[in-house]
A and B are shown apart, each in its own frame.
Chain A
Amino acid sequence: MKKLSFPLSRRAVLRGAGCSMALPWLESLHALADTPPPSAFPKRFGVVFLGNGIHEDHWSAEGEGAAMKLSKTLAPLEPVKEKLNVIDGLFVKALTGQGIHPGQTGSLLSGAKIAKGAVIHSGISVDQMIANHIGQDTPQSSIVLACDQPMTGYHETNFSMAYSSHISWQSPDSPVPVEVYPSLAWDNLFDNRGSLLNISVLDRVKSRAQDLTRRISATDKSKLDEFLTSVREVEKRVETMRKSKGNADDAAKGKNTVAFTMDRPANGLPEDLRDHARLMCDIIAIAFQTDKTRVASLIISRDLSAMYYPFLEVKDGHHAASHNNNSDGYERIARFHVEQYAYLASKLNSMKEGTGTVLDNSCLMFLSNLWIGRKHDNFRLPLLLTGGLGGTLQTGRVLNYLKDGVENRKMCSLYLSLLDRFGVKAEEFGDSRTRLERI
């Protein structure tokens, strides 16, 4: 079967290629020790995105910890609710008042002002900020996945649909291309392609230098020796990194009580969205578990999604359904997304890491670009955080910022708080210079 030629995998390879080769992976070695300090486990960050908002009647929570009561749409999170924070009232000011949909999505994770017309311009997103900081220690600095095909035409607001289709941005001018093929996402992670390619380049360079040595003067040879030594040194580091990771992977597999394994997904696009979403969640889970990457984002449905849900008995496409706010179908679509998110959280929660689980060392974010579809209201956003982020994030809470005033309910303040926890130094981010209260 011929696959669609999306030029996506390439970039992922390169990010993985990690030209900035770090020293051998230290944190993961703790997985081998008997009683590792909890803080020694790597922190992970994941984002799951739902386009077109939620059914507000069924999106709420109250109470704390085990006593937390979840509404219908959030019900799938019941098993992990003690590790959940339901947050209401945050928003991104730059995305308000400039037109619906792409204009409400383009800088959800960056808070930047986005540009209309021919020029695409947003801001680097928080997940990529984190990836740039912690991604050098893993084969891939991040994985950016989607179940929905990206769109890049123009919306009637004259914003590019690229804003609707990408939440992760590597630079203000370029989104990170999304990988829609589970098989390719898998290959990029587990082929260890990045370092293989580096080894292959270095190998070749070495042999070229050796060839040349025969053709130059003795004095030049010493210069070339210096070069060769450097090549060998770098090569050694890449190899060490690969090996130690391989060992750690094996050890981690044996050590974890629930050893999670996964076969390579079949080529091509899964026909059924349910399979597609599961595969993508599995890939993120296993990538986190084996420390192939520590940052992931997944668009299950993009903004303005045209996917439709026969298995939920919804007749309209997603976007059309979202205009019927009060329909059960709209609620079922949102709940389907929360189910996938809950599946990923539970999966991570089943993976032991030290005395806790991988979820305990992660922060999984769930968000949409709107509150409710028909109103295109983005003065508050549906937002969930799961995972204790290595004991730095208190969970089992319902936090409501709606009445705290615009200055005190910025998404970017939350991002700053998260950046702090990942050790990324930032004075300001997007439209905020302050950390979020109470988080």
Chain B
Amino acid sequence: MAFGIQVDGVNLTNSSLSVIAKGNLNSSTTVTLTKNNYADVTEFKVVFTPTGVRDTSDEELRPTSSQTSSTITITQPSNGTPHQYLVLGR
């Protein structure tokens, strides 16, 4: 490679996702993250994973996320099912 970093013979030319924030969502809550607090990160993705055995006897209520140019908002509804969230960035 003409520039950059090579590790174990592999050129490090691709970006990767790192963990910016993480947490568990059980009861009703809203999590707001300010993007400017995370230096050098220009792209954010929120990953929700339902945890535990999902009860199919009723409708599953999942958390939601939204982004503006400056914030990330994660919302767990009042009767939402248990989830973990990872905010990934690069």
Chains A and B are bound partners: no
